[in-house]
Structure 1
Amino acid sequence: MSTDDVVVATRGLTKTYDGVDVVRQLDLRVPRHSIFGFLGPNGAGKTTTMKMLLGLIRPTGGTGTIVGLDIVRDSPDIRARIGYLPQEPRFYEHMTSRETLRFAAGFFFAGPREGIDARVAHMIDLVGLSRVADRPVKSLSGGERQRLGIAQAQIHAPELLILDEPAAALDPLGRRDVLAILERFRETSTVVYSTHILDDVQRVSDTVCILNQGEIAAQGPIGDVLASGSGLVYSVEVEGDVARARDALLGQPWVDEVQTSIRGTAARLRVTVSDADAAESQLQRVLLADDALVVREFGRLTTDLEGIFIDLVEGGRDDD
């Protein structure tokens, strides 16, 4: 990936408080016109990392760039080219949504008033606030306020949009609407957003980074991260001589591992394989060759982000 295709790049980015590394040696790469899901448990360092990128706190070590500009040296120039939604956005409660966006746009737009008004009207329509655009902000619901916050961050069409937990406090319908809005921004901006809602990441993200205890546990295109999980795994439920079935499977060159769990008169076999084609064509045949064995269920397991996340976080936890 060339530098022109990368909007955010860090190398060894570190932040230390009182001798403790809150963020440690981060090497991030965020592709242009992508949705980048930044996830991790509470205290993993997500917000600290975002604040370093925004120039709100200085790194203790390492370097970072946004659209080729240094996050420390060029912070004022960077801020004009990014939009930011904090975890708990604040507004002037007496102003309407339209007035709020017009006020925010005034900091970035030069030229005739008509240009600002047109941009404000476009954003109101884009985030679905037309019905309440002229009501005071204090009368808006939580979901409507979140949409307003996103519109405010995007009002000047920034190259990069950074959102800290944009859907955390919303119900499923509100989250769905926010994710749909983010997908519309992909054509004109790059979106980096943090979340702990794994299903949201899997639905809309192109690239993902899992942070744990201040370090990167996994990073890459969502498909690659998902593929790195459990590998090729089949689940088979059988009745009969389970030990003999297990030995028969382990005798196949394309079978790497067989885990067994007993469930009453049946057993569940978790079969990890190295060759999907061989498994699809031969796994059932191997089992059915034993006349005394009954195969009740057979299927390939799909890997989800939640399983990978739990494995990475719990595997990296320091229990001392």
Structure 2
Amino acid sequence: MIKIENYTKKYGSILALDELSLEVETGSVYGFLGPNGAGKTTTMRLLTGLAKPDNGKAWIMGKQVGIAGEDTRSFIGVLPEEPAFYTWMTPREYLRDYAGPLFGITGQAGVKRADEILELTGLSDAANRRIGGFSRGMRQRLGLAQALIHEPHVLLLDEPVSALDPAGRKEVLDLIVSLRGTATVLLSTHILGDVERVCDVIGIINKGKLILQERSDALMNRYALPLIEIDFDQGLEGFVQFAEKIPVVEKITCENSTVRLLVKEIEQAQKELIPALANDGILVRRFQIVQPSLEDIFLRLTEV
């Protein structure tokens, strides 16, 4: 379990975290979402001990982070957004001779574990290539291998698939799903579709504050507003000006000839919008009520 109470962190005059509190249940995959600069990476740095909070406390597996005698590193695996390596080494050498021994995995056990993790993360074919020639995606895979080398109880993953192609992303996400129940995973990402796919609980951070924490299966029911999509052949601008004045319309976005309207009450919205579409000068190709996505909720709550 991961528990954070009132984490506060400033960098100069910039408030990166503002009394952030959250809990990650044991064995769950927690999706940690937020716009750039919201405080996700700062939270990860504080949990790993790479930085200290100005205020607040955190516990991992019952041990308080940053307290002498309460070492949490032995049961945490960490993948930073930009993992760093000894570039003259090969992945096999790095895991066998450096990452493994940090956790007491040496000798034949170290050789065996390195090969297991290389296979698990899709790096077996590149096991004897110099890391210096790796793409960012391959470095990300090696970073995940390093995080998993000691079979940690807790994984802190900062943008673990951002540099991977679709096939590689699927492989890594499938691996994360397979860890559910055996490891507690805090997954920081901006890829909303990945969060919907693998996470049990979703937390959204904005301007250093947690503005939402909800189980993914209940999130849509609690926070999703009805969504109307309309495709126009003509008359879009005039219709948007009209729709902006309707109280039940929460948010309007336009993309090319399509208007998307988040509304508070679907029946009232239809009652007010449909007659306006019959006006002279308006030609509509499609009027459809659609299922909102996690992206719709995210953008509305973070006011992007």
How does the TM-score come out when normalised to structure 2?
Answer: 0.78
1:231: how far off?
4.1
- Aligned match of 1:121: 115
Match of 2:152 among 148, 158, 164: 158
Is 1:23 matched up with 2:17? Answer: yes
SS of the residue 2:132 aligns to? helix
Q: In the alignment, is the contact (CA less than 8 A) between 1:38 and 1:208 conserved in 2?
A: yes
CA RMSD of aligned residues (A): 3.5
1:312: how far off?
0.8
- Aligned match of 2:178: 184
- Whole-angstrom CA distance in 2 between matches of 1:170 and 1:67: 31
Is 1:301 matched up with 2:290? Answer: yes
- Aligned match of 1:109: 104
Match of 1:209 among 203, 227, 242: 203
Match of 1:39 among 33, 40, 51: 33
Q: In the alignment, is the contact (CA less than 8 A) between 2:9 and 2:17 conserved in 1?
A: yes
- Aligned match of 2:193: 199
1:76: how far off?
5.9
> Which string of whole-angstrom CA distances, capped at 9 and with x for unpartnered residues, describes residues 102-133 of structure 1?
121111125x6222222112111111111111
Question: For residues 228 and 91 of structure 1, do their structure 2 counterparts lie closer, same or farther at Cα, with a shift above 3 Å needed?
Answer: same
Given residue 99 of structure 2, which amino acid in structure 1 is its aligned partner?
A
Question: For residues 235 and 18 of structure 1, do their structure 2 counterparts lie closer, same or farther at Cα, with a shift above 3 Å needed?
Answer: closer
- Whole-angstrom CA distance in 2 between matches of 1:270 and 1:80: 47
1:84: how far off?
0.9
Question: For residues 78 and 138 of structure 1, do their structure 2 counterparts lie closer, same or farther at Cα, with a shift above 3 Å needed?
Answer: same
SS of the residue 2:223 aligns to? coil
Given residue 132 of structure 2, which amino acid in structure 1 is its aligned partner?
K
Question: For residues 122 and 235 of structure 1, do their structure 2 counterparts lie closer, same or farther at Cα, with a shift above 3 Å needed?
Answer: same
Question: For residues 75 and 135 of structure 1, do their structure 2 counterparts lie closer, same or farther at Cα, with a shift above 3 Å needed?
Answer: farther
- Aligned match of 1:59: 53
Larger displacement relative to structure 2 (17-26 or 50-59): 17-26
SS of the residue 1:173 aligns to? helix
Given residue 290 of structure 2, which amino acid in structure 1 is its aligned partner?
L
Question: After superposition, where does 1:221-300 map in structure 2 within 5 Å?
Answer: 221-231=215-225
- Whole-angstrom CA distance in 2 between matches of 1:76 and 1:134: 37
> Which string of whole-angstrom CA distances, capped at 9 and with x for unpartnered residues, describes residues 269-306 of structure 1?
987669xxxx9xxx9xxx9xxxxxxxx97865322111
1:188: how far off?
2.4
- Whole-angstrom CA distance in 1 between matches of 2:62 and 2:260: 53
Aligned residues: 276
Question: For residues 136 and 224 of structure 1, do their structure 2 counterparts lie closer, same or farther at Cα, with a shift above 3 Å needed?
Answer: same
1:38: how far off?
1.0
1:157: how far off?
0.7
Q: In the alignment, is the contact (CA less than 8 A) between 1:236 and 1:270 conserved in 2?
A: no
SS of the residue 1:168 aligns to? coil
SS of the residue 2:104 aligns to? coil
Given residue 213 of structure 2, which amino acid in structure 1 is its aligned partner?
Q
1:177: how far off?
2.4
1:70: how far off?
0.8
SS of the residue 1:228 aligns to? helix
> Which string of whole-angstrom CA distances, capped at 9 and with x for unpartnered residues, describes residues 60-85 of structure 1?
11221111111121586101110111
1:134: how far off?
1.7
Given residue 107 of structure 1, which amino acid in structure 2 is its aligned partner?
L
1:149: how far off?
0.8
% identity of equivalent residues: 41
- Aligned match of 2:302: 313
- Whole-angstrom CA distance in 2 between matches of 1:205 and 1:301: 23
Q: In the alignment, is the contact (CA less than 8 A) between 1:9 and 1:64 conserved in 2?
A: yes
SS of the residue 1:28 aligns to? strand
Q: In the alignment, is the contact (CA less than 8 A) between 1:235 and 1:271 conserved in 2?
A: no
1:139: how far off?
3.1
- Whole-angstrom CA distance in 2 between matches of 1:302 and 1:128: 36
Question: For residues 298 and 158 of structure 1, do their structure 2 counterparts lie closer, same or farther at Cα, with a shift above 3 Å needed?
Answer: same
Question: For residues 272 and 15 of structure 1, do their structure 2 counterparts lie closer, same or farther at Cα, with a shift above 3 Å needed?
Answer: closer
Given residue 15 of structure 1, which amino acid in structure 2 is its aligned partner?
K
Q: Which structure 1 segments of 5+ residues have no match?
A: 1-6, 238-255, 262-266, 288-295, 316-320
- Whole-angstrom CA distance in 1 between matches of 2:110 and 2:44: 28
